[in-house]
Structure 1
């Protein structure tokens, strides 16, 4: 059985998700919500995202995507394609949660069953953007209001037929 793929991202009104390796906002409580969403699952992230975090996140299996065949880091699995990452994820408990960056989101989006997006009502400067997607292909199944953002659950409409 293949694992369910979920994209989790914080996205500004203008589509920005990052500025270089930084997130261009600080929202109290948003990271704690991220931790609750991802605990016990397999995280797939790009090397730049991993290096901006600086360590494997406790309680989660971390798979880092990189084109650099010599790259490694303690406590993480390394994959050289998204399909390679899915193969490595198959032997671990939990769903596959993609947490960035832009290239990894873009590669995972066609295979994703769900997106959980923290909509941030800002328009910060940035050079990293969440991929465009057809909103009509997704159904909003839940929305939670938090101080400084809204968390939206989207499920691929084809999954609901």
Structure 2
């Protein structure tokens, strides 16, 4: 199963200047719990936004750059090749960025979205979720608190 996992604002904003716009510790915990032990597919800029590779996950990086070879990562030059090298009988997660989400939404089976209930200025966006194709299967609201500056909801979409 191919799952897109992201945190996006009401206006689908994902980030700006290769960084997240918000800090939501519960979203990080959920991301870690869902993706640990799995293959994660991402673009090069997303990979480079991490201080170091994420533990307990196999990183598959899509880039057009020749000779790009970060340690302990798989590097490919297309989404098709990224999916090809992932195990067919395991869950695979697409973790960004905007261009990779755009390319993969049509072939995804599931979307795990943290919807941040605000709008932000951004330069990277999550694709529009077409409700004719996707059905909201589960939603869990979280109010802002001392650790979270914004209300947010964990949403799970399944392809109809």
Structure 1 and Structure 2 fold alike (TM over 0.5)? yes
Q: Tell me which residue corresponds to 1:61.
A: 58
Q: Secondary structure at the match of 2:18?
A: coil
Q: Tell me which residue corresponds to 1:96.
A: 92
Give 1:126's match in structure 2, choosing from 111, 122, 126.
Answer: 122
- Following superposition, the deviation at residue 133 of structure 1 comes to 3.4
- Following superposition, the deviation at residue 125 of structure 1 comes to 1.1
Structure-to-structure mapping, 1:81-92, within 5 angstroms: 81-90=78-87
Distance of 1:47 and 1:71 partners within structure 2: 9
**Matched pairs, number:** 153
TM (normalized to structure 2)?
A: 0.90
Distance of 2:142 and 2:33 partners within structure 1: 15
Structure 1: 5+ residue runs without aligned partners? none
Q: Secondary structure at the match of 2:6?
A: strand
Distance of 1:41 and 1:153 partners within structure 2: 18
Distance of 2:52 and 2:85 partners within structure 1: 19
Give 2:43's match in structure 1, choosing from 31, 43, 46.
Answer: 46
Give 2:133's match in structure 1, choosing from 137, 147, 156.
Answer: 137
Residues 57-95 of structure 1 deviation map (CA, whole Å, 9 limit, x = unaligned): 11111101101121110111001100100111137x731
- Following superposition, the deviation at residue 54 of structure 1 comes to 3.2
State the superposition RMSD in angstroms.
Answer: 1.4
Residues 8-65 of structure 1 deviation map (CA, whole Å, 9 limit, x = unaligned): 0101011100102011111132101110011111100000000001322111111011
More helix by proportion, 1 or 2?
A: 1
Decide which moves more: 126-135 or 44-53: 126-135
TM (normalized to structure 1)?
A: 0.90
Q: Tell me which residue corresponds to 1:151.
A: 154
